Amino acid sequence: MKATKYILMISTGLALSGCTSFSEIHAVNDMRTVKPQGGTPFTHGLTDEYRRLSNWQADDHVMWMDGAWFARKGLRAAKGEVVMPSAPIAAPEGAWLRRGELGEVVQIPADRVNELAAARVRLMAYLDGGGRTLQPIKAAHAQGIYDCWLLEEWEHYASGKYCIKEYPGLEAQFMTAAAKPATSMAPTVQKNFQVFFAFDRSEVSEDAAQVIRKAADEAKRSNVAVLKLTGHTDSSGTNAYNQLLSERRAHAVMAELVKDGVPASEIATIGDGEDGQLVPTADGVREPQNRRTTIILQ
């Protein structure tokens, strides 16, 4: 009897949440119990913030798709990655509810983009100007509420707008902190970089070389102990082939870092194959943002 009731509850939740996938359910449930692995007070705070937002969407609103978006960002933060707030772009003309897919960029009505984009610029100035270090929990909360504001614009909620109402107060607080003398806002080290590759290739492009050079300069300036490189692929091709391709991509970035003056002894490389997708896809999908190597300064 209990088993039947449980199945009915799941079925009801799936129906209420629209086209919910099992990957979305797994992401939300994984987020409920994940514990930070290394990282900083900011990434720990970001993990907790995205966990709260994920549970809020899945449990209170039965919006598993929305909850999974927060969960995936939170799972990356739990690994020590400094996840960025998503960026707004204009939705195609005539679009209304659920414009495109939630990801690193979010489609919102064209007449709302300027306000959201300007707010993101101010938020990034605060985060990059020392907010992550000096006020890690407040900074994480501000980023989470900004992403929630984007979600509300994307979802075109007819009522509620909880995060739209909360964000201005948070911005007033961190803008006041950012206005203090420069000595109170210590410079921070950018610890995460992303390098992207063409389909089925491991050669470093000119744009990627510039990112790698910036990572090398940051590593030398801040005297980091280790640079961890993780290669990734999209889901097209076999698992065995993609594992080797992800390793080649990691080694290609390592070679470029060495050329830029980083000792090979300070670099660790691994290949993650199809795992750790930046944009979750089904098997066999060619997704450009999943063809990458991450650089983490530790």
Q: What are the Cα distances from residue 262, in Å, to 215, 226, 258?
A: 10, 10, 5
Contact assessment for residue 162 and residue 70, using Cβ atoms and an 8 Å cutoff: no
> Does the structural domain 192-297 have CATH classification 3.40.50.880?
no
Q: What are the Cα distances from residue 188, in Å, to 74, 129, 217, 235?
A: 21, 7, 14, 35
Through-space distance between the first and last CA atoms of the chain, rounded to whole angstroms = 51
The domain spans of the chain are: 2-182, 192-297
Torsion sign over Cα 102, 104, 110, 116: positive
Taking only the tens of pLDDT, the chain with its 298 residues reads 334 333 334 443 443 444 568 889 999 999 999 998 888 999 999 999 999 999 999 998 888 889 999 999 999 999 999 899 999 988 887 776 677 788 899 998 888 899 999 999 999 988 888 889 889 999 999 999 999 999 998 887 644 678 988 988 888 888 776 555 444 444 566 788 888 999 999 999 988 899 899 999 988 888 777 899 999 999 999 999 999 999 999 999 999 999 999 998 899 999 999 998 888 888 999 988 899 999 999 8
Question: Tell me, what's the pLDDT at 298?
Answer: 80
Contact assessment for residue 132 and residue 82, using Cβ atoms and an 8 Å cutoff: yes
**Confidence (pTM):** 0.57
